[in-house]
Amino acid sequence: MNLYIEDKIKVFQESNKNRGRLLVSCPDQPGIVSAISNLFFSFNANIVESSQYSTNSGDGTFFIRIEFECPSLKDKTNDMEAQLAIIAEKFSMVWTLNHIYNVKKAAIFVSKELHCLQELLWEWQSGDLTTDIALVISNHEAAREVVEGLNIPFYYIPANKDIRKQVEEKQQQLLKDYEIDFIVLARYMQILTPEFVEAHPNKIINIHHSFLPAFIGAKPYERAYDRGVKLIGATSHYVTNDLDEGPIIDQDIARVDHRDNVARLKKIGTSIERSVLARTVKWHIEDRIIVHKNKTIVF
């Protein structure tokens, strides 16, 4: 890892060694917030940020994200999780408790177009993405120079549909070797197999270069031009085995008109793609996203 980035991560870890985040989803009912608050109080923990939401639909689901500070959190974690498990059983909760100290490790997959990768690297260098970019995997050599220039391991693995299984076996081994927490497809133009996707549920972030659900699949800018659209956009989503139909995390758009040809649409679109993907990765590493069915709650 880049020594400058490594030092920044160490500073971040030291300043957040007693901070954690709790994400909860459960059927909506009285007493949930009180039970969680009382638990944190019993551990002398201070809630520093709390956001909650309840659906108005028939399922009546409650969601909450809490960031807290607790003295000697590492020593108290096992007891805290045991108490959370009791509360979770009572309220039928799905929950995760994450330590901010444990900086998430990311793998970035990329093909020929580098604008999304470069945006992530710039945000990472500036300190706005507090994650460990452990490696970059590509089916082209285009990104090698920029990646290795930052002392990030780069792996060139040629890929196509005929050798997809062998390719993914190599990729999976690398992800295991580097103990990766999540994957970012920064314009990685290969379809992943069901086995690969199922191995990383809600851990693969993709950027699609259209405003979904419009123009799913390949060549969305060309199809948008042929359709004469007046708005183009980009969409980030978690990957599922339904092509470009996973839970949407973020979207943005720009206005275009009849004067904009395909090349112009792509130029406008790349800027949207970069910002949407960087924002999404930041939300993911900050534990701001809860997946519910095929939607997301973003706090």
| pLDDT tens digits, one per residue of 19-60 | 999 999 999 999 999 999 999 999 999 999 999 999 976 679
- CA dist 74 and 134 (Å) reads 24
- Residue 1 is predicted with a pLDDT of 64
pTM (predicted TM-score): 0.94
- Residue 57 is predicted with a pLDDT of 64
Token pair, residue 251, equals 């979207």
CA dihedral 135, 137, 138, 141 (to 10 degrees): 40
Q: Which residues contact 24 (CB under 8 A, 6 or more apart)?
A: 32, 36, 62, 63, 64, 65, 66, 88, 93, 94, 95
> Of 244, 250, 260, 287, which residue is the catalytic one?
244
- Residue 160 is predicted with a pLDDT of 86
Asked if the peptide bond before residue 213 counts as cis, ω within 30 degrees of 0, the response is yes
Q: Could you tell me the CA-to-CA distances from 46 to 14, 20, 272 in Å, in that order?
A: 18, 10, 38
3-state helix, strand, coil in the chain (%, to 5): 40, 25, 35
What backbone phi and psi angles, to 5 degrees, belong to 159? -145, 145
Q: Could you tell me the CA-to-CA distances from 278 to 13, 116, 132, 163 in Å, in that order?
A: 21, 8, 14, 30
Q: Which domains can be identified in the chain, with CATH numbers?
A: 17-99 (3.30.70.260), 105-298 (3.40.50.170)
Token pair, residue 178, equals 């580097």
- Residue 58 is predicted with a pLDDT of 63
Q: Does residue 244 carry a catalytic annotation?
A: yes
- CA dist 270 and 249 (Å) reads 18
Q: State the sign of the Cα–Cα–Cα–Cα dihedral 254, 257, 260, 265.
A: positive
Low-confidence ranges of the chain (pLDDT < 70): 1, 57-58
- CA dist 270 and 267 (Å) reads 5
The answer to whether 80 and 67 have CB atoms below 8 angstroms apart is: no
